[in-house]
Amino acid sequence: MVAEAREPSPRLLNWSLHAASGIVVAIVAVELMPNALDDLAGWWVALAFSLGGLAYVVVETVVGRLQRKQDSGDRSRMWMIYAAVAVDLTSDGLMIGSGAAVSSSLALILAAGQVLADAPEGYATMANFRAEGISRPKRLLLSLSFFIYVVGSAVGSYFLLRDAPNEMKMAGLVFVAGLLTVAAVEDMLEEAHEAYDDSRRSVLAFIGGFALFTLVSAGVGEVAGR
């Protein structure tokens, strides 16, 4: 909605994506991996993380090929942007659902982290939609439909893993960690660099995002009795 209220600033977009990347890295480093390392052997961690990263590469490759086959019309570009965001939100839902299968407090912390990360990502998405010349009614309808992906994948992964062995639940968390890490490093930061040249404030935004999630995680964990 911030992007709708005023013309998006490339500089603010750069800072927002750096902050979102810092939050995603913090989610992986502070919550996902420590929980898994207590219960999984090293080779399980390596395998699950690699599979998650490879899954992101495969999806990105497929979307990229489809994009190259499309013409330059607004409708084609709109659906490519939409598909990329839908994939990202699906991975968020998988993470929250996998966390819920482990414990409700972990799911709450992960969901809080994704709210923080998806706010700047949402700003970037709406800015891209505006840059592609997509009308405001279409932009709002597309944004409203995004909840289907995150909620659907969260519910699906929860029911899939809730009765699974603990090792399988932790492997699911590491799988999502691999997917999110590749997305943050290869996609979000690349988009930030394309939006505007990096500066010291970009680095501070990344650090701030990491620190913000760490503080939120500690606060929510204390309230939830973790």
pLDDT tens, residue by residue, 4-25: 777 767 888 888 888 888 888 9
Question: What pLDDT score was predicted for residue 219?
Answer: 80
The predicted-structure confidence for 91-150, as pLDDT tens digits, reads as follows: 889 889 988 988 888 888 888 888 877 777 777 777 777 777 778 888 888 888 888 999
Q: Look over the chain and give the mean of its residue pLDDT values, rounded to a whole number.
A: 82
pLDDT of residue 32: 87
Q: Are 17 and 191 in contact (CB under 8 A)?
A: yes
User: According to DSSP H, which parts of the chain are helical?
Assistant: 2-5, 10-26, 33-37, 42-69, 74-102, 104-131, 136-145, 147-161, 166-182, 189-195, 200-224
**pLDDT at position 65, please?**
73
In the predicted structure, residue 71 carries a pLDDT above the cut 80: no
Count of CB atoms within 10 A of residue 210's CB? 20
pTM, two decimal places? 0.79
Q: Which two tokens stand for residue 156?
A: 């699906």
Does the pLDDT at position 201 exceed 60? yes
